Amino acid sequence: MSANGDDTLRVGWLGLGSMGTLVVERLLAAGREVNGWNRTAKKGDALVAKGMRWGDSPRDVAQRSDVLLSMVTDAAAVEAMAQGPDGFLAGLLPGAVYADMSTISPDASRALAERVARAGATMLDAPVSGSPETLAQGQLAIMVGGDEAAFERIQPVLLEIGPKVTRIGANGMALYTKIAINLALVVQVIAFCEGVALAEQGGVEREAVVEAMLKSVISSPVLNYRGPFILEGRMPEEALADVTLQQKDMLLALELGRKMGSPLPLTATANEMLNACRGMGIGDQDFVVVHRVYRALAGAPQ
pLDDT tens sequence across 211-230: 999 999 999 999 999 999 99
- The span from the first CA to the last CA of the chain, in angstroms, equals 53
Whether residue 175 contacts residue 125, with contact meaning beta carbons closer than 8 Å, is answered with yes
Whether residue 68 contacts residue 14, with contact meaning beta carbons closer than 8 Å, is answered with yes
Percent over 70 (pLDDT), the chain: 97
pLDDT of residue 133: 84
**Over 80: is that where the pLDDT of 301 sits?**
no
Which residues are CB-neighbours of 271 under 8 A, at least 6 positions away? 247, 250, 251, 254
Domain boundaries, the chain: 11-169, 176-297
pLDDT of residue 107: 97
Whether residue 135 contacts residue 22, with contact meaning beta carbons closer than 8 Å, is answered with yes
Q: Helices marked H in 132-235 — which ranges?
A: 132-136, 148-161, 173-201, 206-214, 221-226
For residues 266-293, average pLDDT: 97
pLDDT of residue 6: 63
pLDDT of residue 132: 87
Please provide the DSSP assignment of 55-122 as one string.
Answer: -SSHHHHHHT-SEEEE--SSHHHHHHHHSSTTSGGGTPPTT-EEEE-S---HHHHHHHHHHHHHTT-E
Using only C-alpha atoms, the chain has a radius of gyration, in whole angstroms, of 20
Out of 1.10.10.10, 3.30.830.10, 3.40.50.970, 1.10.1040.10, which CATH number does the structure's domain 176-297 have?
A: 1.10.1040.10
Helix (H, G, I), strand (E, B) or coil at 123: strand
Angle of helix 75-82 versus helix 106-118 axis, rounded to 10: 10
For residues 52-61, average pLDDT: 97
Distance of alpha carbon 229 from the chain centroid: 20
Asked whether the domain spanning 176-297 has the same topology as the one spanning 11-169, the reply is: no
Of the candidates 18, 36, 140, the residue with the CA atom closest to the CA atom of residue 81: 36
Angle of helix 173-201 versus helix 290-297 axis, rounded to 10: 40
Average pLDDT, the chain: 95
pLDDT tens sequence across 109-148: 999 999 999 999 999 999 999 888 889 888 999 999 999 9
For residues 168-182, average pLDDT: 97
pLDDT of residue 182: 96
Under CATH, domain 11-169 is a member of which superfamily? NAD(P)-binding Rossmann-like Domain (3.40.50.720)
For residues 47-55, average pLDDT: 97
Whether residue 14 contacts residue 72, with contact meaning beta carbons closer than 8 Å, is answered with yes
**Over 90: is that where the pLDDT of 82 sits?**
yes
* Distances from the Cα of 74 to the Cα of 80, 86, 98, 136, angstroms: 10, 19, 17, 23
pLDDT of residue 4: 42
pTM of the model: 0.92
Distance CA 299, CA 210 (A): 20
**Over 50: is that where the pLDDT of 5 sits?**
no
**Over 60: is that where the pLDDT of 23 sits?**
yes
Percent over 90 (pLDDT), the chain: 90
Question: DSSP code of 300?
Answer: -
**Over 60: is that where the pLDDT of 103 sits?**
yes
Helix (H, G, I), strand (E, B) or coil at 97: strand
Which residues are CB-neighbours of 8 under 8 A, at least 6 positions away? none
> Over 6-33, what HEC string results?
CCCCCEEEECCCHHHHHHHHHHHHCCCC
pLDDT of residue 238: 87
